[in-house]
Amino acid sequence: MTPCPLTAGLGLKPQHYDEALHCSAPGLWWEVHPENYLADGGPRLAWLDAIRAHHPVALHGVSLSLAADAPPNAAHLARLAALARRVEPAIISEHLAWSTWRGQYLPDLLPFPRTHAALHRIADNIARTQDALQRPIAIENPTHYLHIDGHDWAETDFLAELVQRTGCALLLDVNNVFVSANNLGFGAQAYLDAFPLHAVTEIHLAGHHADPVHGNALLIDSHDAPIAAAVWALYEQVIARTGPVPTLIERDDQLPAFSELLAKREQAHSALAKPLPQEAACS
């Protein structure tokens, strides 16, 4: 039997475990942060195993700190590899960002100057990660809030070069593009035109809100609101060019009812399922 292609997925939240487990929407998959499941045992892993028995799962890391000027933590990589062997995820992804420095973890996805030296370091870090996991990972474009001097590379070229050097894939977060374009004053459309779409294996869609002090001049990638219409419009343009790509509806805060999340997920699923009239046969 051919596995059903992944269409639209949802972030797995503990509040929705029971509904997630029993949901049978065609093409549905679940994304989790591996950091929440790197336990030695216990109910978290049991839940993830149960979900995995019914649905494909993707691991979306937030703390490998690939853009740090140091190799990823070997013990963390080993635990991540063990989790990947356990759940056999459809996709493993991480961010073009850093979060650890000299033994300290800063819980955010931090920016850096895209220099030639940074390219070498990050390509090496991605290669180490892929060696540990024995498979390619997808790298996500970050959200930007700061103008930083000293870039040698445009972000789209930097990502394309990482793909070229390491064989990694890309995770295109359309909301991050929209928010970053707004905050740094570039064109979202031009960015997407330059994005190496051939390497994209996953897309993220999320909501954002305006900064309470600076208003629309500073948008926050908050994952606590419905996806903006402008982001949906950019998304539809992207998939018109790429064809169907597994797409995650990200919602981490101000969680609505499961039925509402599922309705939003259905919107992405419909857009993705259009070019695949035979898809219903998978249900």
Partner 1 sequence: MQLSAFQAGLSAALLGHAVHVPWVSALESQPGFAVYRNTVLKGSIDALQANYLTVCQLVGEDWFRAAAAVYVRAQPPADGLLMDYGVGFADFLAGFAPAAELPYLHAVARLDRCWTECHLAADAPAVGRDWLAQQAPDTLPLAQLLPHPAARWAWCEEHPAYALWQSHREGLALTEPLEWTGDGALLTRPHAEVTWHPLSRAGMTFLDACAHGQTLEAAATAALDAEPTADFAALISTLLDAGALIPTDSRPG
Long-range contacts of 256-262, Cβ-Cβ distance < 8 Å, separation of 24 or more:
258/16, 258/19, 258/20, 258/23, 261/10, 261/16, 262/10, 262/23, 262/25
In the bound state with partner 1, the residue whose beta carbon lies nearer, of 94 and 279, is: 94
- Is there binding between residue 74 and partner 1 (CB under 8 A)? no
Handedness of CA 78, 176, 186, 188 (dihedral sign): positive
108 binds partner 1 (CB under 8 A): yes
24 or 104: CB nearest partner 1: 104
Task: Determine the 3-state secondary structure of 113 from DSSP.
Answer: coil
Residue 158 within binding range of partner 1, rule CB under 8 A: no
Nearer of residues 220 and 276 to partner 1, judged by Cβ: 220
Looking at 197, 218, 255, 282, which residue binds partner 1 (CB under 8 A)? 218
| Residue 106 contacts partner 1 per CB under 8 A | yes
With tokens 């001049």, the residue in question is 217
- Rounded (10°) angle between helices 74-87 and 43-54: 40
Q: Which of 76, 95, 251, 264 binds partner 1 (CB under 8 A)?
A: 76
- Helix, strand, or coil here: 164? helix
Q: Contacts with partner 1 in 176-195 (CB under 8 A)?
A: 183
Check if the beta carbon of residue 20 is closer than 8 Å to that of residue 280.
no
Any contact of residue 17 with partner 1 (CB under 8 A)?
no
Count of residues that bind partner 1 according to CB under 8 A: 51
* Residue 165 is a binding residue for partner 1 (CB under 8 A): no
Amino acid at 41: G
262, 268, 269, 272 alpha-carbon torsion, rounded to 10°: -170
From 78, 82, 148, 281, residue interacting with partner 1 (rule: CB under 8 A): 148
Tokens (6 digits) for 78:
């080993």
Quote the least distance from Cβ 75 to partner 1, whole Å.
9
In angstroms, what is the C-alpha Rg of the chain? 18
Q: Which stretch binds partner 1 (CB under 8 A): 21-29, 34-42, 134-142, 274-282?
A: 34-42
Looking at beta carbons only, is 148 or 257 nearer to partner 1? 148
Residue 69 vs residues 24, 105, 112: alpha-carbon distances, Å = 43, 14, 10
Q: Which stretch binds partner 1 (CB under 8 A): 109-117, 161-169, 200-208, 228-236?
A: 109-117
> What residues line the site for partner 1 (CB under 8 A)?
35-36, 38-44, 46, 62-64, 67-70, 73, 76, 98-108, 110, 112-113, 115, 117-118, 121, 144-150, 183, 211, 213-214, 217-218, 220
